[in-house]
Amino acid sequence: MNELGIESADLTRMAILAFVGRRGPTSRATMVRDLDLSAATVSQATKWLIQHGVLEALDFEPSIGGRPAQLLGLVATAGHAIGVKVATDHLAMVDVRLDGEVVASRFEPFEVLAPDPAERLAASLRSFRADASSPLLGIGVAVPGIVSRPDVGSVDAAVLGWVGMPLGKRLRAELETPIIVENDVKALAIAERLYGRGRTHRNFVVLTIGRGVGFASVSEGVLRRGASGGAGEIGHIVMSATGPVCACGSRGCLEAYVGADGLVTAARIAGVLRGSDGLEHLVDLADADEQAAEIFARAAQRLAKAVAATVAALEPEVVLIAGEGVAGWRHWDGPFRSTLAKHLPASMRDLPVEVDTWDDTSWARGAAAIVLATPFDRNAPAGRQRPHVLGRLHGTRGEFDEDAD
């Protein structure tokens, strides 16, 4: 067993599952060659995975001479995870198969500041998972805050009014299910690593815009969390000590300028928005109104300047733009790209910037990926929840111990 508490056999199985997940149906011979494993090791590991219903034998590869090789594929219904995004006024929940397909979703109001938020969240999750047709591996919870240890799930989130909220422990006691809690942007990065650009890029960053500003980085295939889970909190870098008040309580944070509320405030000061008009109206106005378009341009330039040094230090292969704000990205795109290029070293000025497609399930799917990454990635943030997740996947589930502390 290594420093992560993972048996060597599990490491081999993770490598094989991740390989099949990236490539699709694959032969044992290809696994031997590309994973640099012995034929005996691959045979033993794949036999175990087939017996436990995680891999299945499929058709044979077309032969170019010699005996055709049988392909092995992932059994998507071998397990599933529930993902929930906690926002200030609603919950987004999804049910996701092992292959990343969303099979059910639900959105409901949620007053995060009302009494007993953990108990009410548990009640919502309990009703949502009632129709599960395959083993529930666990529940992933994405929050707009800092989580020092995802397997424990203590949350500090100013926007939710939580300080040291023992969310993971409370939910495990209520639901008797593995619970893994993570920052919402880091959860998106895990989903990209598992199902998106991380299949072809080992180094990338995720930058989100919307109500706030989020940032997460994956380096050599590993999500960077920092010493206590706060890596990537660029939204709360102070740009001006006398600037507008941020939701975190500080003045002049980047988020206070380029988040949704900051954009609306700037538009009201400029006289572009009046009455109850909000961000959606500002986005529409910017299609034809130069003054409205300039508000987005200034925000894009400020954002690009703020992230340039961090991006240069990380040297990713691609910058991924995500979040609710991508609906209006057309007004950010040109100023952001040009400003970022000007502030990066010459060798990085052609860095690709890609904009993700977005819908209301994206945050919650990221939450589910926190759990689903466990059997694929030795660096997944499952911690002490790992044996419970793997036990459910492999059909060896024992009595659940909710105390992960």
Whether the Cβ atoms of residue 322 and residue 353 lie closer than 8 Å to each other: no
Whole-prediction pTM value? 0.91
- Regarding whether 224 and 185 lie in a shared domain, the answer is no
Residue 133 in domain? yes
Would you say residue 1 lies in a domain? no
Answer yes or no: is 135 within a domain: yes
Structure tokens at 86: 């906690």
Domain end among 74, 92, 117: 74
Asked if 92 and 107 count as a contact pair (C-beta separation under 8 A), the reply is yes
How many domains are contained in the chain?
3
Of 43, 74, 105, which residue sits at a domain end?
Answer: 74
Task: Tell me the pLDDT of the chain (405 aa) as tens digits.
Answer: 454 456 777 889 999 998 998 888 999 999 999 999 999 999 999 999 999 999 999 987 665 556 678 999 999 999 999 999 999 999 999 999 999 999 999 999 999 999 999 999 999 999 997 556 689 999 999 999 999 999 999 999 998 999 999 999 999 999 999 999 999 999 999 999 999 988 889 999 999 999 999 999 999 999 999 999 999 999 999 999 999 999 888 999 999 999 999 999 999 999 999 988 999 999 999 999 999 999 999 999 999 999 999 999 999 999 999 999 999 999 999 999 999 999 999 999 999 999 998 887 999 999 999 999 999 998 999 999 999 999 999 886 545 555 545
Do both 17 and 43 map to the same domain?
Answer: yes
292: tokens are 């409205």
| Number of residues written out for the chain | 405
Tell me, yes or no, whether 92 and 160 share the same domain. yes
In this structure, the answer to whether residues 179 and 208 fall within a common structural domain is no
Three-state secondary structure along the chain? CCCCCCCHHHHHHHHHHHHHHHHCCEEHHHHHHHHCCCHHHHHHHHHHHHHCCCEEEEEECCCCCCCCCEEEEECHHHCEEEEEEECCCEEEEEEEECCCCEEEEEEEECCCCCCCHHHHHHHHHHHHHHHCCCCEEEEEEEECCEECCCCCCEEEEHHHCEEEEEHHHHHHHHHCCCEEEEEHHHHHHHHHHHHCHHHCCCCEEEEEECCCEEEEEEECCEECCCCCCCCCCHHHCECCCCCCECCCCCECEHHHHHCHHHHHHHHHHCCCCCCCCCHHHHHHHCCCCHHHHHHHHHHHHHHHHHHHHHHHHHCCCEEEEECHHHHHHHHCHHHHHHHHHHHCCHHHCCCCEEECCCCCCHHHHHHHHHHHCCCCCCCCCCHHHHHHHHHHHCCCCCCCCCCCC
- Residue 179 backbone class (left: φ over 0; alpha: ψ -120 to 50; beta: rest): beta
Residue 351 resides in a domain: yes
The closest alpha carbon to 320, from 329, 4, 116, 90, belongs to 329
pLDDT, residue 66, reads 60
Give the alpha-carbon dihedral of 131, 94, 393, 46, to 10 degrees: 120
110 vs 114: CA distance, rounded Å: 9
Give the integer Cα–Cα distance in Å for 143 and 84.
9
What distance in Å separates the CA atoms of residue 332 and residue 153, rounded to the nearest whole number? Answer: 35
287: how many CB neighbours lie within 10 A of its CB? 11
Q: Which of 53, 74, 95 is the last residue of a domain?
A: 74
* Phi, psi angle pair for 224, to nearest 5°: -90, 120
334 and 256: one domain? Answer: yes
Residue 12 in tokens: 């081999």
Residue 322, amino acid: A
Determine, yes or no, domain membership for 99.
Answer: yes
Question: What span, in angstroms and rounded, lies between the C-alpha atoms of 359 and 326?
Answer: 10
The reply to whether 32 and 84 lie within a common domain is: no
Q: Are residues 237 and 328 in the same domain?
A: yes
Task: List all residues 6 or more positions away from 279 whose beta carbon is below 8 Å from its beta carbon.
Answer: 260, 263, 264, 328
Rg of the chain over Cα atoms, rounded to whole angstroms, equals 22
Q: Are 14 and 376 in contact (CB under 8 A)?
A: yes
Q: Are the CB atoms for 205 and 192 separated by under 8 Å? A: no
Of residues 83, 86, 143, the one with CA closest to residue 120: 86
| pLDDT for the residue numbered 341 | 97
Question: What range defines the domain where residue 153 resides?
Answer: 79-190+361-393
Same-domain check for residues 161 and 267: no
Rounded to an integer, what is the distance from CA 288 to the centroid of its chain? 35
pLDDT of residue 404: 46
| Gap between the Cα atoms of 262 and 268, Å rounded | 10
Check whether residue 139 and residue 225 sit in a common domain.
no
Same domain flag for 47 and 127: no
**Same domain for 172 and 119:** yes
Report yes or no on 219 lying in a domain. Answer: yes
State the Cα–Cα distance between residues 213 and 254, nearest whole angstrom. Answer: 8
> Do 183 and 255 reside in the same domain of the chain?
no
Q: Give me the pLDDT at residue 131, please.
A: 55
Q: At what angle do helices 39-51 and 8-23 cross, to 10 degrees?
A: 80
Q: What is the CATH number of the domain that holds 170?
A: 3.30.420.40
